[in-house]
Amino acid sequence: MSHMGYRSLMAVDRDQVLRDAASLLTRKATATMDEVARAAGISRATLHRHFAGRDALVLALEALGIAECEAALNAARLDDGAATDAVRRLVREIEPAAGLIAFLYTENQLFEGEEQNEGWARIDAALAELFRRGQESGEFRIDLTPAWLTEALYGLIGAGAWAVTEGRVARNDFTHMIVELLLGGAVRREEP
């Protein structure tokens, strides 16, 4: 038996199909369902049995992304220790989902209309609270709002995911690059 047909003999792992779809869609947001099926190593018919169309696929990706973000928030223990340390832990914990977050951050269908997934509000609130705590403790600048710092973090995570995917940044540098730019900025400072 060849290994090529092995995946078709196994039960399809829905989360793995979603991860394969996210990986492709991060690189090619306009990918067709045929291309998504190929990337996942399944037939288009199998893909359609799980997701009736692109909208259903994107909503499933959103649910997975929210679950992975919330798991990263919990693992990072945002309330423990210094806020700067919590940001470092969070970026490290969220790295495996960075490509998915990059795709979702730019997927307009998720943010149009009145019915946005409440998961985003929970995540935004947790991040804003972390930045607010850092401001109150004197760790973070107070001229940048917690909402803006939250958006900046999302943007840097997305940019980091794309840079790693394209080979412009080493995977091992993902956390360092994001945290140092977010917390330290790009201004060169003289060492005392």
Q: Tell me the DSSP string of 7-60.
A: HHHSPP-HHHHHHHHHHHHHH-TT--HHHHHHHHTS-HHHHHHH-SSHHHHHHH
How big is the chain by its Cα radius of gyration, in Å? Answer: 19
Domain ranges of the chain: 1-51, 60-184
Record: fold of 1-51: Arc Repressor Mutant, subunit A (1.10.10)
Domain 60-184 CATH class label = mainly alpha
pTM: 0.83
Q: What is the pLDDT of residues 132-149, one digit of tens each?
A: 999 999 999 999 999 999
Which pLDDT tens digit goes with each residue over 19-77? 899 888 888 888 999 999 999 999 999 999 999 999 899 899 999 999 999 999 999 99
Q: Phi/psi at 167 (nearest 5 deg)?
A: 80, 15
